[in-house]
Amino acid sequence: MKNLLFGIGVGLVISPLVAFSSNWLFYDVDPSEWYGLATQRLQNYGIITGYSDGNFRPNQKVSRAELAVTLDRILSKLDSDYTSAIPSPEFVAVKLYFGDEQIMIDRDCGATRMVTRTIPKTATIADATLRELFKGPTQQERNDGLTSSFDNETGYFGQGIKPLVEYYEGIRIQNGVATVKFSRKALEYLNNTACTQDAVQSPIEDTLKQFSTIDMVQYAIDGEVFDLWDA
């Protein structure tokens, strides 16, 4: 492997890996620069892709993440055994329900709206979907009017209260009933004012009921089903 990586480092710079077109696709790379030809070869071979604005940013520092992706592309092309070592994960689309902010303000604290996310396929898909839900809406989804009540960024739930996912302990599904398990501090979210209860619980329940094995959702605190909800 060491010899292979050394060959990669040298060969990718000084040897043409594939025929390439005369079109120069990175706006900020001058073909006459010392790295120009190597950059075009790597781009045409699919090893480097640049940024969405069409630039390569040749003087920008490379992160460990970018290095990992680049090496992965190289080894995938040069070593047939490499890609079979770890199978690519399968993915599945799931529905997430976040609060519809305008309707929540106008008339219904539990109003939700659905978005679709793609997550790795797993045998514990309901648990994985909830964990994705607890991450909250993306910035674009927030711009589109979605919100969530799963964090304490505003301090509304009290000093020292962490995001809800920190108190999440998993889910059990039996006979159509999903029991969502939390530690006691989750009650700051789950058993707050009636409006806040709806804002927290409705997205969880709407999200879980997409699964055919779930007809009803209940909550357990420290291992005991909780039903003493405040008004």
* Domain's final residue, options 42, 64, 85: 85
**Where residue 47 falls among pLDDT bands split at 50, 70, 90?**
confident
Does one domain contain both 155 and 214?
Answer: yes
User: Per the structure block, which two tokens stand in for 34?
Assistant: 């010392």
Number of domains in the chain: 2
Alpha-carbon distances, residue 10 vs 7, 51, 70, 108, 171 (angstroms): 5, 24, 15, 63, 52
* Domain's final residue, options 60, 85, 110: 85
- Going by C-alpha positions, the residue among 90, 86, 56, 53 that lies closest to residue 70 is 56
**Residue 201 lies inside a defined structural domain of this protein:** yes
**Residue 137 lies inside a defined structural domain of this protein:** yes
**Where residue 81 falls among pLDDT bands split at 50, 70, 90?**
confident
Give ∠ CA 130-100-192 in degrees, rounded to 5: 65
**Residue 231 lies inside a defined structural domain of this protein:** no
- Going by C-alpha positions, the residue among 177, 176, 175, 205 that lies closest to residue 190 is 205
Whole-number mean pLDDT of the chain? Answer: 86
Per-residue model confidence as pLDDT tens digits over 92-133 = 999 999 999 999 999 999 999 999 999 999 999 999 999 999
Instruction: Give bridge partners of residue 97 from the DSSP assignment.
Output: 114
Does one domain contain both 142 and 221?
Answer: yes
* Domain's final residue, options 85, 106, 131: 85
Alpha-carbon distances, residue 177 vs 196, 203, 205, 215 (angstroms): 23, 16, 11, 6
Percentage of the chain beyond pLDDT 70 is: 86
Largest separation between any pair of C-alpha atoms in the chain:
74
pTM: 0.64
User: Per the structure block, which two tokens stand in for 4?
Assistant: 């292979």
Q: How many residues does the chain have?
A: 231
Per-residue model confidence as pLDDT tens digits over 154-171 = 999 999 999 999 999 999
Domain extent at residue 146: 91-226
**Residue 110 lies inside a defined structural domain of this protein:** yes
